Copies of this chain bind each other. A is one copy, B any other.
Amino acid sequence: MLERVHLVVLREVAEHGSLTAAAEGLGLTQSALSHSMKKLEGQLGVTLWRREGRSLRLTQAGEELLQVAREVLPRLEVAEERLSQFASGRRGTLRIGIECHPCYRWLLRVVAPFLARFPNVEVDVKQKVQFEGAPALSGYEVDLLVTPDPVEHPDLRFHGVFDYEQVLAVGRGHRLAGRACIEASELKEEVLITYPVPQDRLDIFTHFLAPANQRPAAQKTVENTDILMQLVASGRGVAALPRWLVEEYGPLLGLVAVRLGGGIFKQICLGVREADERVDYIASFIELARGAPRPCEESVL
């Protein structure tokens, strides 16, 4: 009934002072505007303006409606602009899911320059303890998945962005502290501190202990990486962490990295939905992640 056109015409007429000029500005005929407004007047039962000499003068009702136009139209125009930014990937919310706990620290380095480059894009990090990355990604719960374990999925694509070694972190005074590397059997008297996730998602089990059919003396779980490192530093146990993390905080806390067997080499991958791969800010995020400074090359903020 009361359509956007009507408001546009009203505003244009108010600005240019005449139907003819307004029609010009809108790329339409004067006749079109006249017909269209006449119809609206008929439907509403109101006169919006009245001829006064050769120009038009708004009635009370017209003024009222013009007021509406001045409020509503900018809102619609901004909305269109924003939506077109969504379309071109200059705006949106990038919801990032994280599967590996220490990845969070790595992520922070990528997010900072990303935010600077896309001021209209919000970033939201979802770091649930129990978190099935791939389903969350394909189910549109998150738009980007940071994980060391890419999976095969028809709609998803994974990009390796950062290589690292998973090592054993031990306290400075620990009996294994001086070693270059250790065997799986050497952990059987150790307390192993891990994140609270199933063993099949912990590399130290899947890639190191399980193949040798070994187990630690005990396993404790902790959610927070900082606390975990503190516990290790205080000699309460040992933990598997990325080498760059140990080397970065090691000097500060008193941590030492020890290679696990021949070394567990991993890669942080970024997973996205195939449909999103060409969205500007998502592609740029991956680009940025690839070129991001290696965690150990630069100190943390």
Binding site for B on A (CB under 8 A): 1-4, 44-46, 50, 52, 57, 60-61, 64-65, 68, 71-72, 75-76, 79-80, 82-84, 86-88, 92-93, 140
Contact = CB atoms under 8 A, between A and B. Distances in A.
A68 B64 contact: no
A104 B258 CA distance: 99
Nearest to A80: B2
A79 B2 contact: yes
A124 B94 CA distance: 55
B76 A61 contact: no
B46 A83 contact: yes
Given A2-B76, A61-B87, 18 more contacts: A2-B83, A3-B4, A44-B83, A44-B84, A45-B84, A46-B86, A60-B86, A60-B92, A61-B83, A64-B82, A64-B83, A64-B86, A65-B79, A65-B83, A68-B75, A68-B79, A72-B72, A72-B75
B76 A44 contact: no
Q: How many copies does the complex hold?
A: 2
A61 B86 contact: yes
A45 B279 CA distance: 12
A104 B3 CA distance: 43
Nearest to A94: B60
Contacts of A72: 72, 75-76
Nearest to A73: B72
Nearest to A75: B72
A94 B211 CA distance: 91
Interface centre among A45, A57, A83, by most chain B C-beta atoms within 10 angstroms, is: A83
A45 B88 contact: yes
Contacts of A44: 80, 83-84, 87
A71 to B, nearest CB: 6
Contacts of A79: 2, 64-65, 68
A83 B1 CA distance: 12
A173 B1 CA distance: 70
A98 B88 CA distance: 62
Interface centre among A50, A65, A79, by most chain B C-beta atoms within 10 angstroms, is: A79
A211 to B, nearest CB: 41
Contacts of A4: 2-4
Contacts of A60: 86, 92-93
26 contacts: A2-B76, A2-B79, A3-B3, A3-B4, A4-B4, A44-B84, A45-B84, A45-B87, A45-B88, A46-B83, A46-B84, A46-B86, A46-B87, A50-B140, A57-B140, A60-B86, A60-B93, A61-B87, A61-B92, A64-B82, A64-B83, A65-B79, A68-B75, A72-B72, A72-B75, A72-B76
